[in-house]
Amino acid sequence: MRAVIINSFGGPEVVEVADVPVPRTGPGQVRIRVAAAGVNPVDLGTRAGALAAGGLMAGEGRVGLGWDVAGVVEESRADGFASGDRVAGLCDRLDLPTKAQADYVVLDSAAVAKTDLDPVAAASLPLNVTTAAQALDLLALTAGQTLLVTGAAGALGGFAVELAAARGLRVVAVAGQDDETVVRGFGADWFVPRTVPLAESVRAVVPGGVDGALDAAVLGIPALAAVRGGGAFVAVRGGVQPLPLRGTRVQTVWARADGAQLAGLLPKVTPRVADTLPLTEVAEAHRRLAKGGLRGRLVLVP
């Protein structure tokens, strides 16, 4: 089969589509014939060596790419799944020789959810929607409380706004000026352009500061300053979270695959696909994602 791999770190030119053996299933696993696989910033960080430099993965050897997958179960050695089931899943391990960007992927059944969504739409969701939900769980806010979401027009931020609104939270969304209509459509109560002073602007609409912040744009201290004393703050990247000033509870969300959770989330959010590309154009997908400005996920179609 074909699989997207890297054998060294560097730019998009180090990404290869290699011929490798079809992975075998073990007890409790399913093999999925991949119909679509998302491309995420973590793939770019893996390829560039940033994750290895941060001690999150080994610094040498073949590494597969791809976290988000949708397709059809070809073989199941797990209860609850059968050949022919349409599924989506999350491949959350970094240290695998092949991952979701391939013709086939093997996942633990606990990382897989059945779905009737179009596979391209489904493949745009698992990592970001799971991260958003697990970040909201860490914040532990209750209905009626206020939440700041930075990067609210991006994949993670947009899902966070949708899910927070569904939980009854009142959301202050930060994004580019042209994205106000979009983020209000996700359910944001207030909009703050990212070009204005953040803390002062947020506190102007929520006196005293918001109860919590989900910093999808990795702004750090400016976002923390918008949170009331004793509030909650969730960072989405390790090593960049601010200090817990004013008694703020600061945590980092580390997404984990949870098929049962994913099954409940898939119907609750709006898939956003920026474009589809053949698996063989994965390097171009890396270049386009690195340029920024996309609204939705790039999805590879084997």
b vs e for 265-290, b when ≥16 Cβ sit within 10 Å of the residue's Cβ?
A: bbeebebbbbebbebebbbebbebbe
Q: In the chain, what percentage of residues exceed pLDDT 90?
A: 90
Class of 128-252 in CATH? alpha beta
Same topology between domain 2-125+271-301 and domain 128-252: no
pLDDT band for 240, please (50, 70, 90 cuts): confident
CA 265 to chain centre: 13
- Measure the CA–CA gap between 115 and 163, rounded to whole angstroms: 19
Does pLDDT of 56 surpass 90? no
Compute the mean pLDDT over every residue in the chain, rounded to the nearest whole number. Answer: 95
Closest CA to 275 of 108, 36, 23: 36
Pair of tokens at residue 146 = 């206020």
CA pseudo-torsion sign 175, 179, 184, 187 = negative
With a CB cutoff of 8 Å and minimum separation 6, the contacts of 211 are: 141, 145, 146, 147, 227, 228, 231, 232
Does pLDDT of 58 surpass 80? no
* Section 67-89 average pLDDT: 97
Domain 2-125+271-301 has CATH 3.90.180.10: yes
* Section 180-191 average pLDDT: 96
| HSE-up (13 A, CA, CB side) for residue 151 | 23
CB-count burial class (<10 Å; 0-12, 13-18, 19+) for 296: middle
Report whether 31 contacts 16 (CB < 8 A): no
pLDDT digits 0-9 by tens, 244-288: 999 999 999 999 999 999 999 999 999 999 999 999 999 999 999
Q: Which residue ranges make up each domain of the chain?
A: 2-125+271-301, 128-252
What single-letter DSSP state applies at residue 42?
Answer: H
DSSP string computed for 162-210: HHHHHTT-EEEEEE-GGGHHHHHHHT-SEEEETTS-HHHHHHHHSTT-E
Does pLDDT of 48 surpass 80? yes
pLDDT band for 241, please (50, 70, 90 cuts): confident
pLDDT band for 51, please (50, 70, 90 cuts): confident
Residue 291, H or E segment: helix 282-291
pLDDT digits 0-9 by tens, 117-129: 999 999 999 999 9
